Amino acid sequence: MEIKAAIDFIKENGRVRIKEGHGSIIELISLDHWSPEKDQYEGIFLFFDLFQIRTVAHQFSEVSLDIIEFATKPTIYHTPVNKILQKGPIEHGNVRFAVLKKDFWNKLLFAYSQPLILQYRKTQEFDFETKEFFPLLSAGTKEMFLSPEGDIKIHKS
């Protein structure tokens, strides 16, 4: 799968389904095309860099940013939503996000340059296939609540 082809597909359709290296189907959705009627509130915002966090969350302290930056395993963070975000997978006033550092997936997000929303799909239909493993599907994925002030609560370690 070429990154450019997937990005062009997202720009044209607002979403893309990719069969990743484990065989799972993931769907990446642009924020403008996320719909509460057909999409999941468990969606996860995906970022290629820390500065993008501001688009969905309150401004983080240096401690919180360090926790994210120096994480060695793929991690899904839960945090209070930024009040300017009116649409998207917001659940009980919180959003979930991950910063993908793995080469292929980081490059894909960088090429799109806007946050994408991840959903896992049960369907076997997909638009593209890659041998690259999606990092959030690995056994070592962590999940934690992280407040802008640096408070932490581990959900899954």
Which one-letter amino acid corresponds to residue 43? G
| Structure confidence at residue 156 (pLDDT) | 77
Is the pLDDT at 149 greater than 90? The verdict is: no
| 131 CB-side CA count, 13 A | 0
For residue 86, pLDDT over 90 is answered with no
Average pLDDT over all residues of the chain = 93
More confident residue, 83 or 116: 116
pLDDT tens digits, 97-124: 999 998 999 999 999 999 999 999 888 9
Domain boundaries, the chain: 3-156
Burial of 140 (0-12, 13-18, 19+ CB in 10 A): exposed
pLDDT tens profile 57-81: 988 888 888 889 998 899 999 999 9
Q: State the Cα–Cα distance between residues 87 and 157, nearest whole angstrom.
A: 29
**pLDDT score at 45:** 98
pLDDT at 90 over 90: yes
Measure Cα distances from 134 to 25, 130, 139 in Å.
Answer: 10, 10, 11
CB 79 within 8 A of CB 146: yes
- CATH class (in words) of the domain with range 3-156: alpha beta
Q: Is the pLDDT confidence value at 18 over 80?
A: yes
Q: How many CA atoms lie within 13 A of 30 on its CB side?
A: 15
Quick one: what percent of the chain has pLDDT higher than 90? Answer: 72
Q: For residue 16, is pLDDT > 80?
A: yes
CB 73 within 8 A of CB 134: no
Eight-state DSSP code of residue 27: E
pLDDT, tens digit (0-9, with 9 covering 90-100), for 21-68:
999 999 999 999 999 999 988 999 999 999 999 899 988 888 888 889
